[in-house]
Structure 1
Amino acid sequence: MSGELEVIEAPDEVLGEDFVRDVFYIAINCGKMLLESGAETYRIEDTMLRIASNYGIGNAQVFVTPTVIIFSLNDYALTQTLRIEERSNNLEKVMVVNELSRRISDGLPLKQAIRGMEKIHNTRFFPLWLLVLSGGVIGIMFLLLFEGVARDIPAAFIGGAGGVFLMEGIQRYTRVQFFTEFFAALYIATVTVIFVGLGYGIMLDTIIIASVMPLVPGVLITNAIREMIRGHLMAGIMKGAEAGLTAIAIGAGVGLVFMLV
């Protein structure tokens, strides 16, 4: 993920200033990485509170929404509101941060925990070429799942891979997620229509459905439901709305191509 680690300032008169500030530093940045990677808000709150508790700091409070983290160590007059600008689905990073949290619960020294957290932050888990390749493979797998024919495999691969590449590329220039998914879906539908029109594809609808699957917000929908069940109504509603906008963007991109052909 992009973005710099948050450097926390604490009042000089606080007892054990360096230790408390280090705990605050690792807790809020672990929360930031989890939220940027698509973790559930209750998981983020629990992780941050556990980090503080395991280093002997009680009376900590944390409030998380899909775009904001508010974290306080009340006994030490430390509070910070952190706005999250970029979010994606990186379950590998969520898993690694969770593993670090478990090691902290088992007694990992604070300085080692900080080094581990900074290493996670600086690690790029999925390079662009792997994301694009995975998009193409997902398109093929869903084509076969939907009982597509072997002749449509190249179209599904190019559609899925190209859609992911276009989405990742547009995200470098705009944070408006609606446009990234709209143009990715527009590309997929256009490529599929061309393939079928030239005789290199057969099942138009199946190819399109399979190719757009990498864009479908499955993790977001699942998290929205889990948030609602856990009582995090604000986060659940916000994530549900975001998933709905994504679905509208995909449908609009595909629908526009059908209207023009």
Structure 2
Amino acid sequence: MADKILKTCLLAGRIMIEGGSEMYRVDDTMARIAKNAGETAPQVFTTPTGLFIGVAGQPDVQIAPVSQRGIDMEKVAGVNNLSRQFAAGEIDLDALYAALEKLDRNTPFFPVWLQIIAAALCSTTLMVIFAQKYDFFDMPLAAVVGAIGFAVYLRMSSLTKVRFMSELLGAFAVGLAAWLGVRLGVGRSLNNVIVGAVMPLVPGVAITNSIRDMLAGHLLSGMARGMEAILSACAIGAGVAIIFRFF
């Protein structure tokens, strides 16, 4: 029974970390599942790359590696809902584990074309915010450039596990497409177009979560996620800087 409890907690925690959840939320969810299953003193330790859990009075400790991390709030919300149902007695431990496995395999997601359209809309609106004016001449170009950059980012993410490489190439595509658009007369302000179009690539959630983790006392996880966000920002900056350096 204890082995099944630990496996369920580890599965829930791994899904949440892969979905981009804060570490203190992962800790709390794993501990609540263990306590609601009858373990009064679970010992949980979480990092961005691995999870550890044990129970008081037993020597066994189980671990689970976390090989990939992204942003998928659907997974985080799904685990939270299942945890609440388990706490309310609506499902038992076996049903919870089966539901978590199903969530891990079949998480619904938006199609790629819809994500690209959303990136285009985000690029346009954020360009207006940062430029502090409605530049209707540059708005279509910002939308197209943002869509191109995000499409390149998604494509490279599927081809390589080096996250920073996909972000660098996505930012490079943003800079190159914006430069070509301005040179062809489709846009006027290269800076405004790039600032808006690059925003869908910016790791805003990772930066926010790193700060929240550190405020909650998870210094190791907070610093690790903060460094990951900084490296992502540097990769994006380097991709754009290449355009300004050579074009």
TM-score by length of 2: 0.92
Between stretches 71-80 and 35-44, larger displacement belongs to 71-80
* Mapping of residues 75-86 of structure 1, within 5 Å: 75-86=57-68
The equivalent of 1:255 in structure 2 is: 241
Instruction: Please state if 1:230 is matched with 2:212.
Output: no
1:197 to 159, 183, 203: 183
The equivalent of 1:109 in structure 2 is: 92
Task: Using the aligned pairs only, state the percent identity.
Answer: 37
| Letter matched to residue 93 of structure 2 | L
Q: What SS class does the counterpart of residue 137 from structure 2 fall into?
A: helix
The equivalent of 1:245 in structure 2 is: 231
Q: State the Cα distance separating 1:143 from its structure 2 match.
A: 1.8
The equivalent of 1:175 in structure 2 is: 161
| Letter matched to residue 232 of structure 2 | T
The equivalent of 1:186 in structure 2 is: 172
Is the 1:93–1:125 contact (alpha carbons within 8 Å) kept by the matching residues of 2?
no
| Letter matched to residue 208 of structure 1 | I
Q: State the Cα distance separating 1:55 from its structure 2 match.
A: 1.0
Q: CA–CA distance in 1 between the matches of 2:134 and 2:232?
A: 25
Q: State the Cα distance separating 1:185 from its structure 2 match.
A: 0.4
Q: CA–CA distance in 2 between the matches of 1:214 and 1:62?
A: 34
Is the 1:38–1:88 contact (alpha carbons within 8 Å) kept by the matching residues of 2?
yes
Q: CA–CA distance in 2 between the matches of 1:99 and 1:192?
A: 43
Between stretches 250-259 and 54-63, larger displacement belongs to 54-63
Alignment RMSD: 1.6
Instruction: Please state if 1:133 is matched with 2:117.
Output: yes
| Letter matched to residue 67 of structure 2 | E
Instruction: Please state if 1:65 is matched with 2:47.
Output: yes
Q: What SS class does the counterpart of residue 232 from structure 2 fall into?
A: helix
Query: 1:145-167 deviations in whole A, cap 9, x for unaligned?
Result: 23241222222122222222211
Q: CA–CA distance in 2 between the matches of 1:54 and 1:185?
A: 46
Q: What SS class does the counterpart of residue 62 from structure 2 fall into?
A: strand
Structure 1, unpaired ranges of 5+: 1-18
Q: CA–CA distance in 2 between the matches of 1:92 and 1:153?
A: 31
Q: CA–CA distance in 1 between the matches of 2:150 and 2:58?
A: 46
Q: CA–CA distance in 2 between the matches of 1:74 and 1:84?
A: 24
Q: CA–CA distance in 1 between the matches of 2:92 and 2:242?
A: 56
TM-score by length of 1: 0.88
Check 1:67–1:183 CA distance in 2 against 1; reply closer, same or farther (3 A cut). Answer: same
2:21 to 31, 39, 47: 39
Q: CA–CA distance in 2 between the matches of 1:148 and 1:174?
A: 38
Structure 2, unpaired ranges of 5+: none
| Letter matched to residue 61 of structure 1 | Q
Q: What SS class does the counterpart of residue 61 from structure 2 fall into?
A: strand
Is the 1:140–1:157 contact (alpha carbons within 8 Å) kept by the matching residues of 2?
yes
Q: CA–CA distance in 1 between the matches of 2:47 and 2:213?
A: 11
